[in-house]
Structure 1
Amino acid sequence: MTERTISSQSWGLMALLALLWGASFISIRIALDEIPPLTAMAHRVSWASVVLWAYVLIRRLPLPRGGKVWIGFLGMGLLNNVIPFTLMAWGQLYIPSGLTSIFNATTAIFGVLVAALLLSDEHLSRRKAVGVAIGFAGVVTAIGLESLRNFDITSIAQLAVIAGTISYAFAGVWARKMLSGLAPQLAAAGMLTASTLVLVPVAWIYDGPISLDLQPRTLWAIAYFALGATALAYLLYYRILDLSGSGNLMLVTLMITPIAIILGSVILGETLPSNAYKGFALLALGLIVIDGRLIDRMRRTG
């Protein structure tokens, strides 16, 4: 595989994207002090969809036609937004934001497994299998033996966040099968629209009418995670994809967690147990092994 060089522009955009996504965990936790998870995520997808459709119209991207693409949007909305967003937001009620970001990094681990199971052109090589095994060891370490022995609401919250990352993994396969050939910005707008059509009525039924009569702190948090960490982040993601390729986006995954941990400590006063840091170190090592380029470079120079 040819390794694409990362330009200074790409590094800057990746750092910005990691900051946007890393801070999203903190902004979501702030909003959860006043509104329930379903309502928070309904705000997230609905406002972000408005921004992305505005982008699509300004750029005059061709609009999709036919029922299949809307089925694709619905499936992608469920797998990439509705399920993971709500599970992770609910989990943040009981575990620190930094720990949530650590579990979020397992998305790539599960993505390798799900792709190998469901896509004919993806195979679980020996190197990837080793990386996955190391990643799973990191998950177990981050959860902690105490949580495994004493199964409580914290344990359930941790498993909920991990279930959200598994949903992300299936979303990647769904996108390959159902949304290939679409402009990615259009796919993101359609996905968020489908998510809105699901989450807004569900939140209304379970949480009551959705209102903007909220504390300024909550409104700023919503504005951040909807417009910054979702709409702008998607546009940045696809720009980086064009500039540097999908392989280099693995670096963003490794950059998000330290940012979330630092912001959680500074802004929310969160502290994490030592096993969480050890677990992230193993997860990072697993991702590096799965990516393989650093190992190949060490072999060439050695």
Structure 2
Amino acid sequence: MIGGGRGTLVRMGVLALLWGSTFLWIKIALDALAPTQVTLVRCALGAAVLLVLCRKKGHRLPRSRALWGRLTVAALFCNALPFALFSLGEQSVDSGVAGVLNATTPLWTLLIGLATGTERGPSRTRLGGLLLGFTGVLLIFAPWQRSGLTGWGSLAILGAAASYAIAFAYMGRALVGKGTPALALSAAQLVAATGLSALALPAGGLTPVHTDAAGLTAVVALGVLSTGITFHLSVRLIADEGATTAATVGYLLPVVSVLLGAAVLGEGLSVRVVAGMAVVLTGVGMTRWRKRTPAPFRGGGIQGAGGAATGSASGAGSAAGRLSMNELTENTARPGPGGP
């Protein structure tokens, strides 16, 4: 049985659709802005979108200093640091290699979750699904046919994937499920990420902005869709399903990007790519698999007969009795005088 409600599956699909275009937007945005500028603008635009949604919903940002401290830590590892690393890495790494390296996020998340205690030991089916999903990503992108798999750019993107994993585990442990609405958490975290990104501007972010229409349009799409809306959906998914499940959306990104390329740009689909997409979808399905729990017992009880003394010397009568399942459980659960 596939676990998760319809709302969770819809959020995963929308998240994959919006997130899948991130690498394309970054690549185009770098024609107009420096990497640190891209990071700052996407965080600021994403925060603005979520602040507007918060106002419409009547949510207020957190006021606790302790909570803002935790939000700042999460913003560093989930937003400011990986956004900057992706922008730096894609200066020398093509989007295909970036997609493969980004797809290591679910594996990092599982390992970190097991180490920190935020993730229980996965079942064989779930672990197999994680490994199968990554295999499908390798089939889609075929990194052995591409250049740039080794080098500083690849290390930067691999670091970004690990940073996401740290953030997912931390957010699942320190932020979600604490009484603050997910939308308010998302907005506050992107506000914190905007501040952190602004502090990094002196590191290469003071260069002139190129008035490239495509690049500026891309950074707007990157901030509004692939940062603001996407990040809110990620927080909701972490709250509902846990960090590792949220991270498995990363396996769907190559599928989305390939299908968009075929539909919008007319790019061809080879047998290898189609097979890779099928493997990815199978792997993600395995990570969502839950054992069907048996229906609760609804029987009428256990019928029995017991004798009852009438107190009369002349005879005895019998009376039927009924022992319910609850009574049976209680009686057998209690150890007797000689029991353990």
TM-score, structure 1 length as denominator? 0.75
Choose 267-276 or 51-60, whichever is displaced more.
267-276
User: Hey, what does 1:113 align to over in structure 2?
Assistant: 111
**Partners in 1 of 2:26 and 2:265 — Cα distance?**
12
**Partners in 2 of 1:110 and 1:284 — Cα distance?**
20
Q: From the superposition, tell whether residues 264 and 79 of structure 1 become closer, same or farther in structure 2 (CA, over 3 Å).
A: farther
Percent of pairs with identical residues: 25
Which structure shows the bigger proportion of residues in strand conformation? 2
Q: 1:88-167, aligned counterparts within 5 Å? A: 88-119=86-117, 122-134=120-132, 144=143, 154-167=150-163
**Partners in 1 of 2:16 and 2:93 — Cα distance?**
21
Choose 245-254 or 152-161, whichever is displaced more.
245-254
Q: From the superposition, tell whether residues 271 and 210 of structure 1 become closer, same or farther in structure 2 (CA, over 3 Å).
A: farther
**Partners in 2 of 1:68 and 1:44 — Cα distance?**
26
Q: Does 1:214 align with 2:184?
A: no
Amino acid at match of 1:20: L
- Could you tell me which runs of 5 or more consecutive residues in structure 2 were left unpaired when the two chains were aligned: 293-340
User: Hey, what does 2:255 align to over in structure 1?
Assistant: 258
Q: From the superposition, tell whether residues 70 and 271 of structure 1 become closer, same or farther in structure 2 (CA, over 3 Å).
A: farther
- 1:65-104 Cα distance to aligned partner (Å, 9 max, x none): 2221111111111110112112122222222224323332
User: Hey, what does 1:300 align to over in structure 2?
Assistant: none
Q: Does 1:53 align with 2:39?
A: no
**Partners in 2 of 1:224 and 1:159 — Cα distance?**
26
Question: Higher RCO, 1 or 2 (CA under 8 Å, sep at least 6)?
Answer: 1
Amino acid at match of 1:214: T
TM-score, structure 2 length as denominator? 0.68
Partner residue of 2:170 out of 170, 174, 179: 174
Q: 1:64-75, aligned counterparts within 5 Å? A: 64-75=62-73
User: Hey, what does 1:233 align to over in structure 2?
Assistant: 230
Q: From the superposition, tell whether residues 258 and 286 of structure 1 become closer, same or farther in structure 2 (CA, over 3 Å).
A: closer
Partner residue of 1:22 out of 20, 23, 37: 20
Amino acid at match of 1:197: G
Q: From the superposition, tell whether residues 102 and 272 of structure 1 become closer, same or farther in structure 2 (CA, over 3 Å).
A: farther
Which structure shows the bigger proportion of residues in helix conformation? 1
User: Hey, what does 2:40 align to over in structure 1?
Assistant: 42
**Partners in 1 of 2:143 and 2:271 — Cα distance?**
10
**Partners in 2 of 1:273 and 1:50 — Cα distance?**
41
Q: From the superposition, tell whether residues 76 and 269 of structure 1 become closer, same or farther in structure 2 (CA, over 3 Å).
A: farther
Is residue 36–residue 200 contact of structure 2 (8 Å, CA) maintained in 1? yes
**Partners in 1 of 2:249 and 2:129 — Cα distance?**
18
Q: How much does 1:226 deviate?
A: 0.3
- RMSD of the TM alignment (CA)? 3.8
User: Hey, what does 2:183 align to over in structure 1?
Assistant: 185
**Partners in 2 of 1:271 and 1:201 — Cα distance?**
43
Q: How much does 1:210 deviate?
A: 7.0
Q: From the superposition, tell whether residues 36 and 280 of structure 1 become closer, same or farther in structure 2 (CA, over 3 Å).
A: farther
**Partners in 2 of 1:273 and 1:110 — Cα distance?**
29
- Could you tell me which runs of 5 or more consecutive residues in structure 1 were left unpaired when the two chains were aligned: 298-302
Is residue 113–residue 124 contact of structure 1 (8 Å, CA) maintained in 2? no
Aligned residues: 287
Choose 60-69 or 108-117, whichever is displaced more.
60-69
Q: Does 1:246 align with 2:273?
A: no
